[in-house]
Structure 1
Amino acid sequence: MTSTSEDACISSALILHGDEVTVTKDKLNALIKAAGVTIEPFWPSLFAKALANIDINSLICNVGAGGSAPAAAAVVSMAAPVAAEEKKEEKKQEESEESDDGMGFGHFD
């Protein structure tokens, strides 16, 4: 599952590629800002570096192929620690919300 930050960067990179514009950190930031999306500042840099020497056409065409594309693997391996941290935070939040169950703090108690 991707985060809003990842989705914003992916969409921006695809827009730039579709317009035959080189994917850079600044151009990703400009599109994301124009869309009114707030993201963590490291994402555009991460995506720009991961896509710097990659043929995006072959990456797009090989999405459904059996093997993994090198750029996709690079982005996933760089994003994995961040995603794991986000999941930990979500789980902690869910646990803290669940801990009030049965204590008479519900809306319908």
Structure 2
Amino acid sequence: MAAVSRTSLSKAEHDELSCVFAALILHDDGLEITADKLSKILTTSGNQVEKYWPTLFANALKGQDLARLLSNLGAGGSAPAGSAAQAGTTAATEQPKQEEKKEEPAEEEVVEGAMDLFGGDEW
């Protein structure tokens, strides 16, 4: 978002981003994040947002430790390293058992061309 001009944002993106910045200002000042305080900052800064945005943000952030949320922005859960490899190994060991049970058909039909898959057999 930092490289995007404010004028190129949609109304919803502008409103959301304005509320984010207002909430960060309140947090930096050590103040409680309420709908009234968000609205006051937005009005003072000259930003007009839909009336539901400040209430939405205040309710979403109520009781949240914003400092902890901000410090964990880059932290994400990662998948266990061996799970995909183990799944592939298990599937590979079970596959021969399934193939042994299948009987081959008496005759196989020979199919030529691409069967008009992409609109014609011409190459």
TM-score of the two chains, using structure 2 as the length reference: 0.52
Specify which of 62, 66, 76 is matched with residue 52 of structure 1: 62
Structure 1 residues 7-86: aligned runs within 5 Å: 7-67=17-77
1:14, distance to aligned residue in structure 2 (A): 0.4
Structure (1 or 2) with the larger CA radius of gyration: 2
The number of residue pairs the alignment matches comes to 67
Deviation per residue, 1:65-84 (Å, 9 max, x gap)? 114xxxxxxxxxxxxxxxxx
Q: Unmatched 5+ residue regions in structure 2?
A: 2-11, 78-123
1:6, distance to aligned residue in structure 2 (A): 0.5
Deviation per residue, 1:81-109 (Å, 9 max, x gap)? xxxxxxxxxxxxxxxxxxxxxxxxxxxxx
**C-alpha RMSD of the superposition:** 1.4
State the SS of the aligned residue for 1:3: helix
> Relative contact order (C-alpha < 8 Å, sep 6+): which is higher?
1
User: Where in structure 1 do 4 or more consecutive aligned residues deviate above 6 Å?
Assistant: none
State, as a whole percentage, how many aligned pairs show the same letter.
43
Amino acid aligned to 1:46: L
More helix per residue: 1 or 2? 1
TM-score of the two chains, using structure 1 as the length reference: 0.59
